[in-house]
Amino acid sequence: MTSPGYATERETTEGRVFTVTGGDWDTITNNIDPLSNEKIVVNLGPQHPSTHGVLRLVLELEGEKVTEVRPVIGYLHTGIEKNLEYRNWTQGTTFVTRADYLAPLFNEAGYVLAVEKLLGIEDEITERAKTIRVLFMELNRISSHLVWLGTTGLELGAISMMLYGFREREYILDVFEETSGLRMNHAYFRPGGVAQDIPDSAIKKIRDFLVYMPKKLKEYEAMLNGQVIWHQRTQGVGVLDVTGCLALGVTGPVLRAAGLAWDLRKTMPYSGYENYEFDVPTATTSDVWGRYLVRIAEIRESLKIVEQALDKLRPGPIFVSDKKIAWPAQLAVGLDGMGNSLEHVAKIMGQSMESLIHHFKLVTEGFRVPPGQVYVGIEHPRGELGVHAVSDGGTHPYRVHMRDPSFVNLQAIPAMAEGALLADVIAGGASLDPVMGGCDR
């Protein structure tokens, strides 16, 4: 077995014990067990705290070096697209908002923009509704980036970053709750406008947040920018250049960190983004560090847009005037805690039978959408969110497909991680910011 002079062996009650004194480790292990020198396969997830939800990675390792990564998804598939086909167009917002749960307003925005394009009413959306949408999308972008910063910090060893990120996000969720009644999964954007007007108290909170957040951003940077461990865990890690990004369909901060300033808010504007002044931050390092810099800079740009949107906000209707589409949108909190429009209830219940019929038809049956198909792409915090909506002329969607950026970006994990160390798989995967709710839908 072992050649003399390398390892001596003796039998004990626990089994055979080798005493190794120098020599080539491979030679020794090969003699004992030829299999132990081969690659090992490690299953990471789907229930692992550092895989961002129920992502499963099957890794083939040679020592600590990763030779092959195979992402396995589908653990959070909830059939949102199928379910949409059994509800009316307005009810659809309640479903799509639950796909990517960290950016619910973007799911809604993509969906309602597609429905509005199918209806041909994009030009009739009121200025105030558009401004509120931009305002809320940008706040949502900040909250989503804060969760990214927090969870990535947690995974790379900066645990306090997680506490800070979630603390600041709470301010934004308060604003959402104040306006839509819900912290997450708002169903706030509706085809034709937004569900209800933004209260003055929420506007005050946003103004306070605009003062508060820049200070906190400086704190984050003071903590992370010069941190040696943060540098070592991020710089030169998870590299993916522009060619790789485009081949694999990767968009959003990952693409911008590779140097291409592709942002749909600028390149194919929607919801009036062409009227706001902001920059598209880029980096040239193509690594996790660059993605961190881009996201921090994007939070600053979003704050700029939020401020401009607040200044643009003028009183006015928040829903299209067409009563065949518009739900009652001036809601007040009723005795049961639910949103009600007292004026509207008084009208349909006490004054006008026709209004009651119309209300009943609109709410239970919904409106009809002319047949056809559209694709709408918007800039989601993680990249391009595309909604392909098909109508056959009925009151229900015939087909809605969501091109979720998490789904597409996750394909890039093998390209970033193969050949690197096991620890860099976590850093690279985290830098894509995958949210499995959106990925699996």
Partner 1 sequence: MSIEPTNPEQSTGGVPVNAEPVGADIDAPAQVPPNPRKGMFGITGSGDVSGFGGLVRRAPEVVSTPKPYGGYFDEVTDALEEAYPGFADAIEKVVVDRGQLTLHIKAERIAEVAQIMRDDESLRFELCSSLSAVDYLNSDPRRFHVVYELTSMTYRRRVRLEVAVADGVTVPSVTSVYPTADWHERETYDMYGVIFTGHPNLTRILMPDDWEGHPQRKDYPLGGVPVEYKGAEIPPPDQRRVYQ
Q: Which residues bind partner 1 (CB under 8 A)?
A: 73-74, 77, 79, 81-83, 85-88, 117-118, 120, 246-251, 260, 262, 267-268, 364-365, 371-375, 377, 384, 386, 388, 390, 392-396, 398-399, 401, 403, 407-408, 410-411, 440-441
Nearer of residues 38 and 336 to partner 1, judged by Cβ: 336
Element (H, E) at 32: helix 25-32
Assess contact for 287 and 257: CB atoms under 8 A: yes
Nearer of residues 88 and 196 to partner 1, judged by Cβ: 88
DSSP 281: -
Report residue 338 as tokens. Answer: 């639910």
In the complex, what is the shortest distance from the CB of residue 365 to partner 1, in angstroms, rounded to a whole number?
5
Nearer of residues 90 and 234 to partner 1, judged by Cβ: 90
In the complex, what is the shortest distance from the CB of residue 419 to partner 1, in angstroms, rounded to a whole number?
18
Nearest-5° Cα angle at 356, 353 to 360: 145
- Counts for the chain of helices (H) and strands (E), in that order: 18, 12
Q: Residues 6 or more apart from 234 whose CB is under 8 A from it?
A: 156, 287, 288, 289, 292, 427, 431
In the complex, what is the shortest distance from the CB of residue 257 to partner 1, in angstroms, rounded to a whole number?
16
* 79 three-state secondary structure: coil
Sheet-wide strand order for 40-44: 40-44, 56-62, 65-72
Nearer of residues 165 and 438 to partner 1, judged by Cβ: 438
In the complex, what is the shortest distance from the CB of residue 111 to partner 1, in angstroms, rounded to a whole number?
14
The Cβ-side half-sphere exposure at 14, using a 13 Å CA radius, reads 3
Nearer of residues 77 and 358 to partner 1, judged by Cβ: 77
In the complex, what is the shortest distance from the CB of residue 119 to partner 1, in angstroms, rounded to a whole number?
10
In the complex, what is the shortest distance from the CB of residue 415 to partner 1, in angstroms, rounded to a whole number?
9
Nearer of residues 72 and 184 to partner 1, judged by Cβ: 72
